[in-house]
Chains A and B, each alone.
Chain A
């Protein structure tokens, strides 16, 4: 685990100090202090309405027009993967991947990124010819091609079927191993968080309710016995009790 040692000394990729956001007088994020070390894969769990998307949008800088205070530092190269693939229907897949990039070798990089996500040969396809999983792969390629220091993902697999989702989990983890961006994955799926992330945060009423480091080797199986413990702790932090057991 050599890569980890050098990251311990590096400055955090994301630093939040006293971050507060509110909508119509309702406080959604309440005085959050948080450091995300460079290269860490973090998952952010929470109920719907807990403010997890608000936190992600704040870090992405997508919340102009929102009332708030606090200090926030984030890397320059940030990519966002949304729940919908958000491909422009009037551009072919490769041109979608290249959106916002320039330079003469951009097209070559775009092809490489598409090959990396398993979409080699689909460069000239229109987005509406792709399946849901393929579209989300293209969206991943679009975020990769910018070589992000920080990858923000807002429930990126929420709209996919269960089988495709598992395949995307493997892919995302592989891509992370290869490129080592800092990742903040917003999800409401506890298992997804445990299987993918090295650290899981639970956001509860605008505050970080639980900060859990998951120490289990990758790749992780859903049936790994260690994960059951983490699962219970996380569900408890989310206020879910498994009465039926």
Chain B
């Protein structure tokens, strides 16, 4: 067994040689490595590049990283990539905005009033039980095969986690704070604005991050099922022609979108919830 124990720096070591105490090993994971988020992906990329350069990978199935980059550049300048990206972004943004609004409004109505809760909460829970992607055929019948049904599906996927988390946070308000508000003579509106809403923000951000991820997830599915433009369409076409590099370009862009939007939400969250001090900070 190897133990990495260090001794406590003893200033007058010659006086107390017998009681040198071993410092207890901490149970916390310790200090974070520099740039720890990038280490894993960078290693993966290096392996991929090395294997491609060594000719160990079938370029038809897994093209080299530089091939993917070259294809991306080519699609950007000479192809439809800019319009495809814009279309996808637009769909995700519309769907997300709609879902966010619906989720927040419904959660507020249901979390702040008993009548609202009776009307809304059960219905949303029922909606949650139905897999949203299973609604696609019905929505195509109702809304046609254009943009509207895609945005509607994305909005549903987004609103559910936002509603659930915000509603739970609103109705789970600490009873001690309710008492405090009564003692301090807050009006109902002041109580909601100064205690309930700020207290529910951490829960809201959990829902928001799930919602952002959900919007990309549903977008990928929708664009592969029936679309005439967009990143998913691009990838679907590439599949027909065996262009694995184009598929990888599409995946890469989806990944970047997801990463950027998630980071943006986390940035806002850190700003808004700056009063929180957690283990991760």
Contact = CB atoms under 8 A, between A and B. Distances in A.
A106 interface: no
Interface stretch (A83-91, A113-121, A179-187, A236-244): A83-91
Contact of A62 (B183, B185, B194, B195): B183
Given A128-B275, A128-B277, A88 B186 contact: no
Contacts, number: 47
B180 interface: yes
B200 to A, nearest CB: 10
Contact of A99 (B194, B201, B275, B276): B194
Nearest to B187: A100
Nearest to A100: B184
B223 to A, nearest CB: 40
B69 to A, nearest CB: 45
Contacts of A146: 184
Interface string A123-164: 000111000000000000010001000000000000000000
Contact residues of A: prevailing secondary structure? loop
A42 interface: no
B194 A86 contact: no
Given A100-B190, A126-B275, A88 B198 contact: yes
Contacts of A99: 180, 184, 186, 194
A86 B184 CA distance: 12
A90 B195 CA distance: 9
B183 A79 contact: yes
Contact residues of B: prevailing secondary structure? helix
Contacts of A202: none
B186 A100 contact: yes
A187 to B, nearest CB: 19
A228 interface: no
Given A86-B176, A128-B275, A100 B195 contact: no
A82 to B, nearest CB: 7
A88 B178 CA distance: 11
B76 interface: no
A221 B237 CA distance: 88
A49 interface: no
A82 B275 contact: no
Contacts of B194: 88, 91, 99
Most chain A CB atoms below 10 A, which of B180, B183, B184, B275: B183
A70 interface: no
B179 interface: yes
A229 B194 CA distance: 49
Given A89-B275, A90-B199, A62 B182 contact: yes
Interface string A51-94: 00000000011100000000000000011101010101111000
Contact of B195 (A60, A88, A127, A142): A88
Contacts of B186: 99-100
A79 B275 CA distance: 26
Nearest to A78: B183
B177 interface: yes
Contacts of A127: 275
B184 A84 contact: no
Given A100-B184, A126-B275, A62 B177 contact: no
Interface string B259-281: 00000000000000101110000
Interface string B193-209: 01100110100000000
Given A86-B180, A90-B275, A128-B275, 7 more contacts: A62-B182, A86-B179, A88-B199, A99-B180, A99-B184, A99-B194, A100-B184
12 contacts: A79-B183, A80-B183, A86-B177, A88-B195, A89-B276, A90-B198, A90-B275, A91-B194, A100-B184, A100-B190, A127-B275, A142-B184
